[in-house]
Chain A
């Protein structure tokens, strides 16, 4: 079972947190910190699995993570999940995000937290993998989005707001970086 899904950026700022097992609020924060601490000091050329954070489940607890540009996607799972399977599930999730947001970037995750959660709900439900078929996930999400537009579309703000937001100064990033660089690069699909 998947115990938790954590997404944070290179500075450890949480971007999406979803626990499938109950932890008290301060424990959650501690887990996020510890996980970030473990994951962030690893090079890019080492394996994507980590064992034994002491916080969630001891020896029956693994971290499986991927690092995309500015974001870490970390799945905390127990031994009943396949390591490589989860690794590709992350890939599926990110590709789905990319399809839904068109060139997904960290800002999309910040400003559309609720939508990202909804997409995630279609992939993983209650700690179990629900759907791995990308088209199906996108279809589901779109079905819900159409609903949304039927309600709120009329008052939708003009598209320029996107660029306004994306140009916003985020101190964690160098000032002169252009928008393209904070896009999450979906890694090439060839095996790593």
Chain B
């Protein structure tokens, strides 16, 4: 007890030794709160309550605003308003008074004031700023209680920006003699760490001190912080593992004061916390794990009392043991514990047991086998939570053999379940399992139908779209696809025929899409029948309007079949066409504009079969569809309009910017001028249609753009794509259906693991119950025992091949052709290329990586302007410009025009391939290939064999004219020495590795591996040599592409080789590359600069030191920057200069420099978040180094 408090106490008269109970008595029945509560409890309806509270709030309002209200009354009023707020009625007028109360009240009133503040306000509330002063004052108070209250409120709620104001005071409290203050101070720092980790960076050492505090409470509080920090980066705290183990040992050993025991378990919550920390520290780290084995063992041993809290500790032990580096002995004990949990009659423990099983089953499937009977009992448990947990467990052990039984169980549960959350969760799981392990078409379609029916409108929208995509993209075998599709059509037709009323909208959409797309596959199904079924849907009032448009689209697709009368349907054809006519007429006056539009389109299409086949070709190969999101077909229209003097399109944010400019003083460095010329508006914004349309000559790129830009919300799956680059008739169908076959590997043999009787559902007959359970067990756990963990989720798949593999996930990601889906890292694709062609052509085959899809905005613009004969200068590297690249722009279109090389021939869509990369197949003896992106230098020099650099220290000819660094030695040993040179190619950084054999004998099997996580690395040539003759030199190249900005990146790798008769060696190499290597000048005019500037958002400002302050500081500073960082100085006007650069062919970064007060004020803008920061770093360095 502190002196202060004690003094206060002694000052009290003896008669005040009332206890708490009488404190309650203070609330006389006449008190206002008492009245309020009583009247509320007497009310019968919500409406009355509302009226009463309104009255009450009015009274409170009057009271708080009256100047005569004492603090004491204010406190009472505050409690009443807390009560009102709790009931959900806003009393925001009291907030300011709560702060006032905290500020001015005596201790007790202050407490209520603080409480009200922390209950009423949130971190971003503006009133909170008013609290800062009060907190400051209270933190400095000599009254312990006030300090405590201040710390409490700080750890509940505090404005982030004001942390620095009180941080020193809180830190100081870490040394307070009273442990409760220290503990609360630690807690407050924890709060600071959570909301603003940077601000407490410097006091990590004090956390350590808190960890070693002599008071266990303070130590326990510091564990919160450590748990959080270790969660974020375990590596930085591994050194503390020993301390945590020691602490845990002491706690388990009962070294803490008895006070901390809870049901004679020593400080159980501290133990739990420590165990969690240990799990995080020991994960993937054997040596740290070894430290823990003893104490874990002891924890398990000591936790023997049959009480809830010991089980809590045991559970944590089990989790820790399974998380850290495994030790056989402990695993056994943990498994036994899990067994105890699972078998426990206590339901909470059973739940945790199932949770633990779910957690460990991926490592040890046999454990699930041991408890299979219990698991089956849990499946029928009366508690829904237990059931769900059991299903979760089953989900983890699903394989191709037990999938039918498990999915059946899940569907059973779903049919009885009414909780939205559970349904959403489980539906997604069933869909995943069905897609992964479906044994046959029938089962798959039926399961999906059930999912759609049960999931209804709740399920995640990606489930139906994935399903449609799977149908559309098909698998590796055309025949399988056909069967699947026809089965789907059949089952949906019969569904519609029986009872379509109950089907959810999403399902109806799926059905209509499938019928529209594939019903022609079923020979004896007349299109009229299908149209009739669909049209009936349109007539139902319950069908939502977006579903109607799906239906309409389907009818549109079917209308040729009906009208044209192909084959058997001839007789009824007229009826079908009539029906279509009727529908389109009926809806052509619909109030729903979308529907009306579709109806009118349908009308036109049904009258013109030719148009119809062009617009909606039957059986179009997916993937070959292109979406011209840039609407390039409007180019003509736009340019015409512009020529007639229309203002160019401005995106909304630019318009806003301008508006703001008009209103406010101009703070922008450039007055906005809007010349109505094509050349300037083309650069205006990367997302403006004009620019995109120019780039749309590259179909691959333009389809990728929306994805890259992160606007992935545009779901194109399941939507018929009708707008293409040629206008409203695109769908360039590539008649290469069979090529899929070629590409596909032979379909894997299907297995149908039907287990005879095992599949029969358990019967309800009690006499057979046991046997049924056994059977169920055998069908549920089949496949677990033999090859246990290999078949589990998240592990490599079981021998049974996954049936519905999405094509684009395997074959396509490799070919990178039809992927409009850009989620696959091109790096993978590159590896795949490397790998596969290495296999095909032997180790030395060089591979060329062409321009990759990201290079774009600037580059494509260059192409576009070039083809249109417009003037803007091509962005080029200094070196390149000299060689006169105007005739030969580094062009992607060139690659498009090239005949596909053999490697490309297999892919059905060469232009799209450019979205990924271009593969050229040069074998050493053949003439060297012409890499599509090789810069113009190549145009001058005829390509040469890169394998034969004539003399050491010479770059391959096509690189020789590019700006490059000197050869710098990297590593060497007695026989091989390596040096490297960085070549700044326009679109990439080329790293040329020179290997020179210094010894007398040839070196064999030289191979180079290079990697860098931050960059995209591709080997160009020569990275594997069969032999390196004595005293000779070879080079190999890598192109490096930086997509996200980094200030520095480390490239590491190794070169391995073998001496002719000796052992093999490896040389490690590493090289640090800076952002400067990836910057390229961006050449543009001042006007273009101004426009681009306005359209960019990421904004960084900084003052830098100026060079040459006496002469012309701006010019000399800029020229230094220009030389060192390859910037392009656009213009210098007086004391301001504008500079532009870009990250390879990607994001631009604009700099505006101004000499101001002896410093260089730099203002950077870029569309890429990190780029200005990274660039700024190098600017500083460049200027400092001078």
Contact = CB atoms under 8 A, between A and B. Distances in A.
Given A18-B119, A51-B388, A114-B82, A148 B23 contact: yes
B42 interface: yes
A189 to B, nearest CB: 7
Interface residues of B, number: 94
Interface in A159-192: 159-162, 164-165, 168-172, 189, 191-192
A145 to B, nearest CB: 6
Contact of A84 (B9, B34, B183, B309): B309
A182 B1110 CA distance: 88
Contacts of A45: 347
Interface stretch (B84-92, B504-512, B679-687, B1149-1157): B84-92
A84 B312 contact: yes
Given A14-B87, A130-B187, A151-B108, A51 B9 contact: no
B586 interface: no
A165 B36 CA distance: 12
Contacts of B111: 114, 118, 144
B272 A46 contact: no
Contacts of A143: 1, 5, 144-145
Interface in B312-359: 312, 315-316, 346-348, 350-352
B513 to A, nearest CB: 28
B41 A172 contact: yes
A150 B217 contact: no
B1104 to A, nearest CB: 40
A117 B115 contact: yes
Nearest to B314: A84
B352 A83 contact: yes
Most buried by B among A45, A87, A146: A146
A102 B18 CA distance: 13
B268 A114 contact: no
Interface in B875-916: none
B262 A92 contact: yes
Contacts of B156: 20, 121, 125-126
Contacts of A171: 41-42, 44
A139 B309 CA distance: 24
A100 B19 CA distance: 9
A181 B63 CA distance: 37
Contacts of A152: 26, 72, 108
Contact of B309 (A47, A88, A102): A88
A100 B143 CA distance: 23
A169 B385 contact: no
A70 to B, nearest CB: 13
Contacts of B346: 191-192
B260 interface: yes
A47 B425 contact: no
B420 interface: yes
A76 to B, nearest CB: 14
A53 B9 contact: no
Q: Is chain B's interface secondary structure helix, strand, loop, or mixed overall?
A: helix
Contact of A156 (B26, B108, B123): B26
B217 A25 contact: no
A151 B308 contact: no
A53 B351 CA distance: 18
A6 to B, nearest CB: 10
Interface string A46-82: 1111111110001100000000000000000000101
Contact of A146 (B9, B44, B350, B421): B9
B461 interface: no
Contacts of B8: 146-147, 150
Nearest to A129: B269
B29 interface: yes
Contact of B308 (A155, A157, A191): A191
A127 to B, nearest CB: 9
Nearest to A25: B90
Nearest to A51: B385
Given A26-B88, A49-B348, A172-B41, A88 B268 contact: yes
A151 B107 contact: yes
Nearest to A24: B122
Nearest to A102: B21
Given A114-B115, A149-B23, A87 B348 contact: yes
B28 to A, nearest CB: 5
B259 interface: yes
B629 interface: no
Nearest to A91: B308
Contact of B217 (A87, A112, A118, A136): A136
Contacts of B221: 128, 130
B312 A149 contact: no
Interface in A30-57: 38, 43, 45-54
B42 A169 contact: yes
Contact of A133 (B87, B124, B259): B259
B27 A157 contact: yes
Contacts of A148: 23, 107-108
Contacts of A155: 26
B37 A47 contact: no
B469 interface: no
A149 B16 CA distance: 7
Contact of B9 (A46, A52, A150, A192): A150
Interface in B139-164: 144-145, 152, 155-156
B471 interface: no
A84 B348 contact: yes
Interface string B184-226: 1001001100000000000000000000000001000100100
Most buried by A among B1, B115, B421: B421
A54 B419 CA distance: 10
Interface string B1-26: 10001001101100010111111111
Nearest to B315: A84
A192 B348 contact: yes
B1047 to A, nearest CB: 34
B503 interface: no
B386 interface: yes
B88 A165 contact: no
Nearest to B225: A128
Interface string B112-127: 1001000100111000
A53 B780 CA distance: 29
Contacts of A129: 269
B347 A52 contact: no
A55 to B, nearest CB: 9
Nearest to A45: B347
A168 B224 contact: no
Contacts of B87: 14
B24 A136 contact: no
A168 B272 contact: no
A125 B315 contact: no
A128 B224 contact: yes
B227 interface: yes
A161 B18 contact: no
Given A143-B5, A161-B29, A149 B42 contact: no
19 contacts: A20-B156, A47-B385, A51-B385, A82-B312, A83-B351, A85-B268, A85-B309, A87-B312, A88-B308, A113-B86, A126-B187, A126-B191, A128-B187, A133-B260, A147-B8, A148-B23, A148-B107, A150-B9, A159-B25
Q: Which 9 A-B pairs have the closest CB atoms?
A: A84-B312, A52-B421, A46-B383, A22-B122, A126-B155, A29-B88, A161-B25, A47-B347, A153-B16
Given A143-B144, A146-B5, A157-B27, 9 more contacts: A17-B86, A43-B383, A59-B425, A108-B24, A131-B217, A149-B16, A150-B11, A153-B12, A165-B29
Interface of B: 1, 5, 8-9, 11-12, 16, 18-29, 33-34, 37-38, 41-42, 44, 72, 79, 82-83, 85-88, 90, 106-108, 111-112, 115, 119, 122-124, 144-145, 152, 155-156, 180, 183-184, 187, 190-191, 217, 221, 224, 227, 259-260, 262-263, 267-269, 272, 276, 306-309, 311-312, 315-316, 346-348, 350-352, 382-383, 385-386, 388, 419-422, 424-425
